[in-house]
Every structure is written in structure tokens, then in C-alpha cells.
Amino acid sequence: MPPAAGAGVIAERSCPALVLSATSSGQGKTTLTAALARHHRRAGRRVRVFKIGPDFLDPMILERASGAEVEPLDLWMVGEAACGQRLWEAAAEADLILVEDAMGLYDGSPSGADLAARFGLPVAALIDARGMGQTFGALALGLARYGPDLRLAGVIANRVGSDRHAEMIRAGMPDQVPLLGVLPRLAEAVLPSRHLGLLQANEIADLEQRLDAAAACLRDTALTGLPPAVTFAPPLSPRSPRPAPRLAGARIAIARDAAFAFLYSANLRLLEQLGARLAFFSPLHDSGIEADAIYLPGGYPELHLDRLASNQPLHRALRAHVDAGKPLYAECGGMLYLLETLADKADHSARLAGLLPGHGRLQPRLAGLGMQSLATPAGELRGHSFHHSTMTTALRPSAHGIRQRDGGRGEPVYRHGSLVASYLHLYFPSAPDAAAALFTPRGTGG
């Protein structure tokens, strides 16, 4: 959309937009959002999808469905101003903006409802209708009335078992809450999952067929039309200030393969804006590495134990890198890879890189979850924790994360020589100078 008349004036932008939420996790939000993106994309529309809250797995699916990058929106981790700028920028290029919520509509502080209210986004709430009839309407009414600032466009009944079941749901709906659709139980559209969430998109061989099947279910619902347009205010300044090139000329090698894939695109863009040259390598396949700094992100090392353990040449290359005093930064699964041993859920253990003294073990239940920040001399980085493993080490933490919900002590951060590791997944744009320091040798101004 062209800017408004007048030199230097930045115009508002409008675009149809909708938040897809639910009463809780596991209701089918990602499947519905992906189905909507696929439907509108096949209709020739340009679709931009965002994900509320921290997530690596759902965006992989949504990118395949929409054909465009999926970025996080979160009032705390990303920041209100940055969220607003992303929506405003998307409105210039998209025919439709879809936003998938995290957990339930009112869960968390800030919640998906808070973000929707802040930017005037209408919300469609998905409710798993299994095991209920007219009570469905009571839940719908509760969602509509709980948040006075919420624009509830309506609700969708999911996993409806029969025509008679659908009739019971319609009979119990209050007049003031629209029923936007009734979706059947459809095994061929279900997205498979494991611990931590959905399978990675490239692990689902028939993902395209599943997305097409999910999109076909929307044919007789009100969701196939475009939602109302939302007006997005321009940012206070047209562009965020470009960070100082603190990593100018530095070559950063980043692990990226089936075992290490939990990366925010915004993190990679920031490293490039800081002046770094990025290269990617695979701990599963590559035997050597040459770089000024290394980034080991999170992922699923526990699913590839034997392959990771057998790649001894890369272990030696990583050790040589650290012995030379070069920075190595590792998050969650990347940290587990650096331990002496790691055991999976079946208690199968393997010897891994051995750069960090200690042992990791996958647990049957979630061991860490929540938003956290990390205070550093160069600024406060924000991020999150989400893991099913625990680790033991004789090392004393050099710092701890700070839990967002109560200010309490969060995940430990370990520094061992030039190596920095933690369970935290950090969002680098929250503090660019602090992010640059993670990849700067100590004693050089980082």
C-alpha cells in the first residue's frame, strides 16, 4: 500500500487478519492454521502467518503451508514495538495475515488474548468437541465474555463425531457467539508429534497430503472467506536502528541438520546485521569445521545418539576450536551434545563430544518450561526454556536466567573456557550487543 500524502508521513496499513486460538494445547490449532493458510494460498492469495510465543516446530509446518517465513510474535520476548512493526510490514505484502496462538487463549502473561486486544485482531477459538454436546456453547460464551477487550469472531468445533453430534453443538450455541465451522475427526489430516511437540516438517513424508486434506475440511465453513480488515499503525520510526557491526568479518559456523534445527531466523539475520558471515555445518555428517565462532542450537540430539557419537573427527575439531580460545555458544540440545554422555528415554547412552563435563538424560516428562531473561553487562537477553532432559555437572554456573513469571532463579548458564552453554533458547534481537558478546572472544571488548 503506498504511503499517505505528505513528505515523511508513514501511512497506516490495512489487511484482513485473524488469530487462531483454542482452549488449551492439543486442540488442533496448528492443523487449522496450516489448513487455512493452504486454502487461501491455493486460492491465489498471499498469506503471512505468525506464531504467538516461542516455538520452533509449529512454524516449520506453517511455512510449508503458507510458502513464507513464519516469525514469532510475543509482547514480552519480541517486544510490543517489534510485534507491531512486523504486522504493519506484513500488511504491505499480504492478502491475509494469520496468527496462531500458544496454549489457550488466556494462558500466560502476556497471553494471546492480550496481543490480539493490543493490535485489534479478531480471534477465532477452536474447541475440541469430543465428549460434549450443548456444553460446547457454555465454553464458547465463557471465552467471549472473559476478556472485555477481545474481539471474538466466533468459535470452531473440532473433532466432531457425527451429524447428530454437530446438531447437539449447534443447539447449545448462544446467539451472540457465531459458530464458524464444524470440523470432523480426520485421521489423514492429523499432524504427528513426539516429546517437545510436532515432528519437524521434513520428517513428515506425506505432509503435503495432510495439509491438503485439512484444507479440504474447511470447504463448508465460514472460514473460507476473508476475515475483516485490521488497520495497523505504522512504527514510531520507519526502521529499527541498525546495530553496530560488532562482529564485522567474523565467520560464525552454525549447526543445522535433523539433530539441530531450533533456530530463529531473526537470530540469523541479526548476526548478519552485526557483520558476521554465516556458514552452516552438520554434526551428523561433517568431519571438520573452521570458524571464528560456533553456534550449536537446540534440537533432538537424543534421536541421533549413535550417529553423533561416531563422528569423532568433528568432536576433535570442536575441541581444537575451544582449545584455541574461540567462542562456542550452545543452547539446550546443543549443550547436551557437548556433554560426556547423553541417555535417551530407553536408557540407551552414548559418549558425545565431551567438551562440557557432565551427563544428560532424557526424562519421561517435561523438565523445564517458561519465559526467562538473561542479564549480561551488554544488556538483557530474553528467551525461553523447554526441555525433557536433565543434566548433572560438577561445574558451577556462571549465571542464571531470571524467570519472567515471578523473577525467580531460572536455568543455569555454564562457562567453560571459551564455551558458553545453557538450556535457554535466546532471542538475539532482544539485546543485540549482548548477542554479539556470545560470539566475541573474551578480552576483546565483548
Provide the annotated active-site residues. 332
Largest interatomic CA distance in the chain: 71
Query: Alpha-carbon distance 102 to 19, whole Å?
Result: 11
Contact 328, 296 (CB under 8 A): yes
Pick from 279, 346, 336, 280: nearest CA to 309: 336
Pick from 356, 210, 236, 208: nearest CA to 296: 356
- Cis status of the peptide bond prior to 110, with omega within 30 of 0: yes
3-state secondary structure of 103: coil
Give the residue carrying C-alpha cell 498469506.
47
Start-to-end CA span in the chain (Å): 41
Contact 267, 427 (CB under 8 A): yes
Query: Alpha-carbon distance 381 to 372, whole Å?
Result: 9
The amino acid that residue 278 corresponds to is: L
| Beta strand pairing call for 293-296 and 328-331 | parallel
